[in-house]
Amino acid sequence: MSKTVEQTLLERRSVRRYTRDAIPQEDVDFIYEAIRNTPTSYNGQQFSVVDVADQELKEKLYALTGQKQIKTCNRFLIFCADYRKITLAAKSKNVPVGVFPATVDGYTVGVIDASLAMMSALTAAESRGLGTCPIGYVRTAAPAQVAELLLLPENVTVVCGLAIGVPRELPDMKPKQPVDLVIHHNVYGSGDMSQALMDYDEKVSHYNRTREGTKSDNDWVSHIVGYYHEGSGYDMLHAVRPHGFLTENS
């Protein structure tokens, strides 16, 4: 089933339950092509993808992250920042790469490229009627063990995972911030956003209390800040440095 661009973009929601059906090879090929044609910084293509279809490996990644979708999805794509390819190519041509990959902007470039590639894959998959869910825990939950399982070499580090499968649910769409809170015109708006933010917080609370399936008493602010507290405990610097990222102080 193919969807229109409007349906693909405006009716998308994360799907966390999948049937056992395999994704048609034609759809996998389309997703790969969409990934390949991602716009990247300098056209350097500072990313690569590990497509995990092996069930045993998916179970291991589930055990490390606690994210059930990894073992129940058909394909789990892991998007990585990757300077290995340019480093190898430059070595073959005796061109020194320098320290850029190890700088803050080098890491940022890799993360942007990998994230855009994930969005290409997500949009391609959604347009074919497949269900998707990004999985950030594959980066944060156990970085050293995940890198070891995937045999990630130097200059490659995980940015985000993407679970893809045939959907077995159609969750209610989550309310998002109104356009006035998201889009500024020409300059960043100076108006007081507090009331609009509180209205949005209430909207999310209402959604959480009334949505289909598992309901909760979560509001928006406390729930998100809770994630930030959890995230403050991740030692990402020491996770990425052994792979050659963020070792420069600039």
Ligand X SMILES: Cc1cc2nc3c(=O)[nH]c(=O)nc-3n(C[C@H](O)[C@H](O)[C@H](O)COP(=O)(O)O)c2cc1C
Using rule CB under 6 A, residue 136 touches ligand X: yes
Query: Do residues 81 and 111 lie in contact, with contact meaning Cβ atoms separated by under 8 Å?
Result: yes
Which among 37-45, 56-64, 134-142, 237-245 is the span making contact with ligand X, rule CB under 6 A?
134-142
Which residue, 13 or 203, has its beta carbon nearer to ligand X? 13
Query: Do residues 181 and 204 lie in contact, with contact meaning Cβ atoms separated by under 8 Å?
Result: no
Of 52, 130, 135, 246, the residue at the interface with ligand X (CB under 6 A) is 135
Using rule CB under 6 A, residue 49 touches ligand X: no
Continuous H helices in 66-193: 69-72, 84-92, 104-127, 137-140, 143-149, 179-182
3-state class (DSSP) for residue 89: helix
Using rule CB under 6 A, residue 36 touches ligand X: no
For residues 82 to 121, the per-residue mask of contacts with ligand X, x marking binding by CB under 6 A and - elsewhere, is: ----------------------------------------
Two structure tokens written together for 135: 């999985």
Which residue bears the tokens 């490229």?
113
For residues 176 to 195, the per-residue mask of contacts with ligand X, x marking binding by CB under 6 A and - elsewhere, is: --------------------
CB of 108 to ligand X, least distance (A): 15
CB of 69 to ligand X, least distance (A): 6
Which residue, 14 or 87, has its beta carbon nearer to ligand X? 14
Using rule CB under 6 A, residue 174 touches ligand X: yes
156-165: strand order across its sheet: 47-52, 75-82, 156-165, 131-135
Calpha distance 38→112 (Å, rounded): 11
Two structure tokens written together for 51: 């497509």
Residues that bind ligand X (CB under 6 A): 13-14, 16, 67, 133-137, 160, 174
